[in-house]
Chains A and B, each alone.
Chain A
Amino acid sequence: MRPFVYERAEEARSAVAAVADRPDAMYLGGGTNLVDLMRLGVAEPARLVDVSRLPYDTVGVRPDGALRIGAAVRNSDLAAHPAVRRAHPLLAQALLAGASGQVRNMATVGGNLLQRTRCAYFQDITKPCNKRNPGSGCPAREGDHRNLAIIGHSEACVATHPSDMAVALAALDAVVHLEGRDGPRTLPLTELYRLPGDDPRRDTVLDPADLITEVTVPALSFGGRSHYRKVRDRASFAFAVVSVAAALDVAGGVVRDCRIAFGAIAPVPWRARRAEEALRGAPATEDAFAAAARAELGQARPLRDNAFKVPLARNLLVRTLTELVVA
């Protein structure tokens, strides 16, 4: 591991200043992804600014019912919070489906959003990888890509975003609050992430000095009728092969409204707006759910070894929505 300076930030402005001044400084949350990547030689910051003890460590409910989630809140504390479990069960389920108890106890909300892809070539510095080393090529395209993207990927990079939590937050129209070089600003979570195109280096639109301070989740009247479902290669403690976050509002057998996002099929948490569009006003039947899935997944361009994800994602959505109708 390359030598680095460690400092603990006491407040947001000084943290931003500390990173803004130095191109090779990085924020440190719980460290469960960054410490790993530093050990692997994938990340080589010269300075770590620990933001895990900033006072953004509480979960609250605003008068309008919106959830306020501090960026330093531990994944386990967020999953256990009564307001989350009551109003947004899919968010609690997504968190609990991720990693292990030990990792969730350390991982923060900010760090979870900005965790890097689990593409094996990205994590192996002896291999080429356009994301890690621009222009070196993408061995995953012809190599091991069984668990990589089927949608939204590019010639340059076919990696997926690994977060479970971000999929639930994408479905819930979450908003990310930032403190940056020019002061505070907000960004819808779905606009935080960017598709790789011909420059896969950056996963998000953020400047390196942008500090995530908070995530807000607007109230959703039918948030209680929601579910996060994750398919993985073993029963627990594995990244998703495909996942879906869905909330459904049905009245008189008709879909009044819905929120849908897929995980592990794209370089970003994939908000399924075409599927949502197809469903609003449609009968709450398996046929209509399958048609909505087709509307979304018709854009899929699977690779040699991951075409199975297309029917898997479709079936997962149909099953999840069907169960939400009777729930």
Chain B
Amino acid sequence: MRLNFTVNGRATAVDDVWEGESLLYVLRERAGLPGAKNACEQGECGSCTVYLDGSPVCACLVAAGQAEGREVRTVEGLGGPGRLDPLQEAFVECGAVQCGFCTPGLLVQAHDLLERVTHPSDAEIREALAGNLCRCTGYEKILDAVRLAAERKAAAR
């Protein structure tokens, strides 16, 4: 089947999509966007998190056809051309990245939190990121990065 959707602001048509493919597969293998990662394929790790119509979802559990006509935003679309989002900068500065496999999903999920909540409490950050597993960092630096980005975004408002 042919899939028509918007990816990072650009109208996109992908041909020869098999019904059983996930949105994650379409993005990574057909649309040239390998940012979202494929790990558990069961909704348990969050490394495949992308925005679908403005809400973060696990792209591994979205059947390709479900994305028809909808808007997808991936980690590649968080910053601008040649520019990182303040959240991405904070991840770099705080050392919140080790192997980096969980990072794209965490970025999208944390980005959504900061869009909705200006001054998230630690409890709110933890709960918002509960669906994103990281095997390397122990999460402390990730929390630091989200706090730092929240401060900067609030100051810039």
Contacts and interface: CB of A to CB of B under 8 A. Distances in A.
Given A6-B19, A8-B68, A103-B43, A76 B61 contact: no
Interface in A68-108: 74, 76, 99-103, 105-106
Contacts of B46: 100, 102
A36 interface: yes
A8 B65 contact: yes
B20 A4 contact: yes
A45 to B, nearest CB: 11
Interface in B16-47: 18-20, 22, 41-43, 46
A148 B141 CA distance: 37
A101 B43 contact: no
Contacts of A39: 41-42
A102 B112 CA distance: 10
Contact of B19 (A5, A30, A32, A101): A5
B126 A35 contact: no
A36 B65 contact: no
A39 B132 CA distance: 21
A24 to B, nearest CB: 14
Nearest to A29: B66
A237 B64 CA distance: 25
A113 interface: no
B49 A102 contact: yes
B62 A106 contact: yes
Interface string B1-16: 1000000000000000
Given A31-B63, A35-B62, A36-B42, A101 B20 contact: no
A106 B52 contact: yes
Most buried by B among A39, A102, A105, A236: A102
A105 B65 contact: no
Interface string A248-289: 000000000000000000000000000000000000000000
Interface residues of A, number: 28
A324 to B, nearest CB: 23
A39 B57 CA distance: 18
Contacts of B18: 3
Most buried by A among B52, B126, B131: B131
28 contacts: A1-B20, A3-B18, A3-B19, A6-B1, A6-B64, A8-B65, A28-B63, A30-B61, A31-B63, A32-B43, A32-B58, A32-B61, A36-B43, A48-B63, A99-B43, A100-B130, A101-B56, A101-B109, A101-B128, A102-B58, A103-B43, A103-B57, A103-B58, A103-B131, A105-B52, A105-B56, A106-B55, A237-B131
Interface of B: 1, 18-20, 22, 41-43, 46, 49, 52, 55-58, 61-66, 68, 109, 112, 126-128, 130-132
